Amino acid sequence: MTTVTCPYCFTRASAARLPYRCLMNPAGVRGAAPCGPEPDEKWAAFVGPGVPPAARMRGPVFTPARRFAGLAGPAGTGSSVPCPACGVPTHVRVCGSCHSDLPSDYCDQDGRIIALVGAKASGKSTFVAVLRNEFDHRVGHAYNATLAAMGPQSQARDKEMAEDLYERLRLPAATRPAALGFNDPLLYRLSLPKRGPLGRGGTRHTALVFYDAAGEDLADAEAMDRYTRYLSAADGIILLVDPLQLGSVRDRLPVHEGPPLPVVETSPRQIAADLATQLRAHGKGKPGGRVSTPIAVAVTKTDMLRSLLDPHSPLLRNATHSGGAYDAEDRLAVHEELRTLLTDWDAGALLRQLEHDFDRLSLFGLSALGAPPPADAPADVPKSGPQPVRVEDPLLWLLSLRGLLPVRTAAQDRTGKERAR
């Protein structure tokens, strides 16, 4: 029986027991009048006090008879059930706890919640938009994979971010803080080939939930608590670290006429410490011990760091992803390079904080844009469009930990070479 984790309130429930929402279709059946909207106070209470009265009026929520739930199949098939009042079939399932509408395909497959965290201006929205585009092209081709937005809200936001970056050549709008309302997560369906003992065997679909906390909220304990359930439900965390927030990096960069350095926000070290505190408080680690949730720490904007890197640094080129397998040795090379750099920068304070707080940690370096924005328009994308470097690495590592990707090791490479001789 499929268990669904609501991507909004993170309550877990059986897919077969989820309630449905009537579509209020005017084409009634059996002579019944179409249903009218009703105030959904449970949903309004979850979203917040700013919901206008008109928006509270939504299609009635009902629990289908047990025989209909049974017909849906053990894993949920997206089958429609008739509204008991008007008789019109509906496929829209809702969370029984917060009454948020759930995309039907989200309820029908395995899910992974990815926590995306970073200070203001660390590039979270840009990261997701570029990652999505890479799965349409280079990364998707390498793994025979697709990444598609699910549900109207995610589809609209995904389209808006893509148009901003790749057509208007401007950065996506910043995530709004919690004080201005609830931020909907971005829901995607990841499709990958199944790999059985005899090779591929069909397609495996996995729902990915990216929940983006505004940078301002990470500096506010009360606002941060709003995301606690999300963090504790996460299968993995991607922490974006803007190196331009580190004083030692800012001091070493050459003086030039490029875009101005960003305003210093909440320090990455403080964000990492607050994350660990929140996760420990919700059972993701023993008090005073390391957090068990895997964390991918990604140093962003590596295009700005070229003068500080060796010309042969692995941070300056994309991984090959040859054979549709995740390269464990390439990840280790990047991790060790970043470990050396972080030890040098800010006397290694951030690295020590991370290693003390997290049990499973890997370091990454990426550039979502590939080059600094033009000096005359600091908020814009380079005129050639995004040319990302290693933007996919953090997510692929987290997926490999869950067995969703085949992993190639140095030992396997050596075996392959010996067989070829």
> 420 in a domain, yes or no?
no
pLDDT at 43 over 90: yes
Q: Which of 13-22, 54-63, 227-236 has the lowest mean pLDDT?
A: 227-236
Of 399, 401, 410, nearest in space to 139 by CA: 399
DSSP helix/strand/coil, 105: helix
Check whether residue 10 and residue 148 sit in a common domain. no
The average pLDDT across 217-241 equals 74
Last residue of a domain, one of 81, 107, 133: 107
**How far are the Cα atoms of 38, 233, 275, 357 from residue 228, in angstroms, in the given order?**
31, 9, 9, 17
Cα–chain center distance at 323: 25
> 151 in a domain, yes or no?
yes
Check whether residue 28 and residue 160 sit in a common domain. no
> 28 in a domain, yes or no?
yes
Yes or no: say if 183 and 175 are a contact pair by the CB < 8 Å rule: yes
pLDDT at 255 over 80: no
The average pLDDT across 93-109 equals 90
> 8 in a domain, yes or no?
yes
The average pLDDT across 263-281 equals 84
pLDDT at residue 384 in the model: 79
Last residue of a domain, one of 39, 72, 107: 107
Check whether residue 180 and residue 239 sit in a common domain. yes
> 260 in a domain, yes or no?
yes
Check whether residue 60 and residue 114 sit in a common domain. no
The average pLDDT across 210-222 equals 61
> 417 in a domain, yes or no?
no
The average pLDDT across 266-282 equals 85
> 223 in a domain, yes or no?
yes
pLDDT at residue 379 in the model: 53
Where residue 222 sits, what CATH number does that domain have?
A: 3.40.50.300
Check whether residue 77 and residue 205 sit in a common domain. no
Where in the sequence is the domain holding 37, given as residue range(s)? 3-107
Check whether residue 115 and residue 83 sit in a common domain. no
| Residue/partner pairs of 308-313 with CB below 8 Å, 24 or more apart | 308/249, 308/252, 308/253, 308/341, 313/337
Check whether residue 19 and residue 114 sit in a common domain. no
Check whether residue 52 and residue 151 sit in a common domain. no
**Two tokens, residue 368:** 């979502």
> 213 in a domain, yes or no?
yes
pLDDT at 142 over 80: yes
Yes or no: say if 303 and 289 are a contact pair by the CB < 8 Å rule: no
pLDDT at residue 222 in the model: 55
Check whether residue 315 and residue 379 sit in a common domain. yes
pLDDT at 70 over 50: no
Check whether residue 84 and residue 135 sit in a common domain. no
> What would the DSSP string read from start to end of 210-277?
EEE--GGGGG-HHHHHTTHHHHHH-SEEEEEE-GGGSHHHHHHSPP-SSSPPPPP-S-HHHHHHHHHH
Q: How confident is the model at residue 71 (pLDDT cuts 50, 70, 90)?
A: very low
How far apart are alpha carbons 80 and 102 in whole angstroms? 14
How far apart are alpha carbons 418 and 162 in whole angstroms? 45
Q: How confident is the model at residue 78 (pLDDT cuts 50, 70, 90)?
A: low
Q: How confident is the model at residue 358 (pLDDT cuts 50, 70, 90)?
A: very high
Last residue of a domain, one of 64, 85, 107: 107
pLDDT at residue 30 in the model: 58
pLDDT at 351 over 80: yes
Check whether residue 22 and residue 153 sit in a common domain. no
- Return mean pLDDT, the chain: 83
pLDDT at residue 29 in the model: 59
What is the length of the chain? Answer: 421
Check whether residue 114 and residue 197 sit in a common domain. yes
Q: Note the pLDDT tens digit of each residue in 385-402.
A: 899 999 999 999 999 999
Q: How many domains does the chain have?
A: 2
How far apart are alpha carbons 323 and 372 in whole angstroms? 32
The average pLDDT across 84-90 equals 89
pLDDT at residue 283 in the model: 82
Q: How confident is the model at residue 180 (pLDDT cuts 50, 70, 90)?
A: very low
pLDDT at residue 331 in the model: 97
